[in-house]
Amino acid sequence: MYAKRYGLKQYYQIAEDFSNHAETRDVDPVSLAVAWVMSNPAVTAPIIGARNTEQLKGSLGALDIEMTDQWRKEITELSVTPPPATDRLEEQKDISYF
Amino acid sequence: MMEYRTVGKTGVQVSPLCFGTMSFGGIADEEMSRKMFKAARERGINFFDTADVYNEGRSEELLGKFMQENNCRDELVITSKVFGKTAADVNAKGLSRRHIRLGVEESLKRLKTDRIDFYFVHSFDTKTDMVQTLRALDDLVREGKILYPAVSNWAAWQIEKSLGISKRESLARFECIQPMYNLAKRQAEVEILPMAEAEELGVISYSPLGGGLLTGKYGKDKSRSRED
């Protein structure tokens, strides 16, 4: 299921860029990925899952990351912003939670 | 000190992380699940997500067991879900009044509690009239078996349609949504998240790690072939 869900090539580029970004910042990418979701004001709480306590520790580490607007923006730019619902790219503006 | 957040406009306070127990009784055995539950509690997590279909009910059973062992049911905010096939019977699935009624009773038994805080419809059911589903959930709210209806994996237009019906019919509305959202999968930003803000819905998003994509295993000098 995941092979199909995350099958697009662009996802692997994002994964690689994100991984390198986390390494540069010397933070656990797992904690950082969760912290990025958590810092979106529209999100109440991301759901974290784990198969063991070691994995869980990485996700819980998101609680210790102090995400700033600037850092959030840098991470967001590693990804692809989806076009607006109208598909009028020229009218795309930063949504309130960026 | 944990900074708690409010789920939509319900007034219910939850930790900024929700622990998803999909692994309980599956890839995590009982002892490992118990350790994870404890570790989450120690970090102040008060919010636990499960579903009737996770490991054929074992996830709910273990979550129920751990709440009982720690005598902490009243301190936790728990979810469960209905929709997926739970038995061989042809009707043991979907969002019909019939399956919702059987589904919630079974979930409550496994969770060893008398109420589920947020009860999610797990997916959209094309065969069932939305009004029927919303009425069935409203009945459960009135009976106190669930406190808030919630919805996962529906399109924004389907959720908006339901909110209109709930208002018109004076039924309990969906107060929380559960969409997929991570750095690689940002479709939710187009319609789902702006809708949630406009309607003051709680949002507990799943797959923050993109199914393992964002765990760092695809970085420089690392193999780009998928392991799963």
Chain segment A76-98, per-residue pLDDT in tens: 999 999 999 999 988 887 654 44
Q: Given this model, what pLDDT does residue B2 score?
A: 80
Q: Given this model, what pLDDT does residue B223 score?
A: 47
Contact assignment for A11 to B176 by CB distance below 8 Å: no
Q: Given this model, what pLDDT does residue B226 score?
A: 42
Average pLDDT, chain B: 95
Q: Is the pTM of this model over 0.80?
A: yes
Give the range among A1-15, B61-75, B213-227 with minimum mean pLDDT.
B213-227
- B103: closest CA of chain A, how far (Å): 23
Judged by DSSP in three states, B117 sits in: strand
- B38: closest CA of chain A, how far (Å): 10
Q: Given this model, what pLDDT does residue A95 score?
A: 53
CA A36 vs. chain centroid, Å, equals 5
Contact assignment for A15 to B210 by CB distance below 8 Å: yes
User: Phi then psi for B99, rounded to 5 degrees?
Assistant: -75, -35
Q: Given this model, what pLDDT does residue A92 score?
A: 81
**Selecting from 1.10.10.410, 3.40.50.2300, 1.10.10.10, 3.20.20.100, what CATH number does the domain B5-207 have?**
3.20.20.100
Contact assignment for B190 to A37 by CB distance below 8 Å: no
Kindly state whether A72 is in contact with chain B, defined as any CB-CB distance less than 8 angstroms: no
Q: Enter the DSSP assignment of B152.
A: E
Kindly state whether B28 is in contact with chain A, defined as any CB-CB distance less than 8 angstroms: yes
Q: Which two tokens stand for residue A28?
A: 């656990």
Q: Given this model, what pLDDT does residue B218 score?
A: 85
How far is the C-alpha of B103 from the C-alpha of B106, rounded, in Å?
5
Q: Given this model, what pLDDT does residue B221 score?
A: 55
Count of structural domains within chain A: 1
Report domain extents, chain B. 5-207
**Banded model confidence at residue B222, pLDDT cuts 50, 70, 90:** low
pLDDT, mean of residues B13-41: 98
- B222: closest CA of chain A, how far (Å): 9
Terminal-residue alpha carbon distance, chain B: 38
User: Phi then psi for B89, rounded to 5 degrees?
Assistant: -55, 140
Contact between B149 and B172 under an 8 Å Cβ cutoff? The reply is: yes
Complex ipTM, two decimals?
Answer: 0.94
Question: Residues 16 to 35 of A: which have CB under 8 A from any B CB?
Answer: 16, 18-20, 22-23, 28-30, 33-34
Question: Residues 188 to 207 of B: which have CB under 8 A from any A CB?
Answer: 189-191, 193-194, 196-197, 202-207
**How many residue pairs from chains A and B have C-beta atoms closer than 8 A?**
192
Kindly state whether A13 is in contact with chain B, defined as any CB-CB distance less than 8 angstroms: no
pLDDT at B132 over 50: yes
Contact assignment for A36 to B217 by CB distance below 8 Å: no
Q: How many residues does chain B have?
A: 228
The angle, 0 to 180 degrees and rounded to 10, between the axes of the packed helices A9-25 and A29-38 is 100
pLDDT at B219 over 80: no
How far is the C-alpha of B104 from the C-alpha of B107, rounded, in Å?
5
Q: Enter the DSSP assignment of A60.
A: H
pLDDT, mean of residues B109-137: 98
B-chain residues near A26 (CB < 8 A): none
User: Percentage of chain B surpassing pLDDT 90?
Assistant: 94
Q: Given this model, what pLDDT does residue B220 score?
A: 65
The domain in which residue A21 lies consists of: 2-81
Q: Given this model, what pLDDT does residue B228 score?
A: 41
Q: Given this model, what pLDDT does residue A7 score?
A: 80
pLDDT, mean of residues B132-146: 98
How far is the C-alpha of B118 from the C-alpha of B150, rounded, in Å?
6
Contact assignment for A30 to B216 by CB distance below 8 Å: yes
Chain segment A13-65, per-residue pLDDT in tens: 999 999 999 999 999 999 999 999 999 999 999 999 999 999 999 999 999 99
pLDDT at B197 over 70: yes
Contact assignment for B194 to A50 by CB distance below 8 Å: no
pLDDT, mean of residues B3-18: 98
Q: Which of A24, A70, A57, A62 is nearest to A46 (CA)?
A: A62
Q: Given this model, what pLDDT does residue A91 score?
A: 84
- A84: closest CA of chain B, how far (Å): 6
Residue of B nearest to A39 (CA): B16
How far is the C-alpha of B143 from the C-alpha of B13, rounded, in Å?
23
B-chain residues near A67 (CB < 8 A): none
Active site residues of B: 54
- A68: closest CA of chain B, how far (Å): 16
Q: Given this model, what pLDDT does residue A97 score?
A: 47
Q: Given this model, what pLDDT does residue B227 score?
A: 44
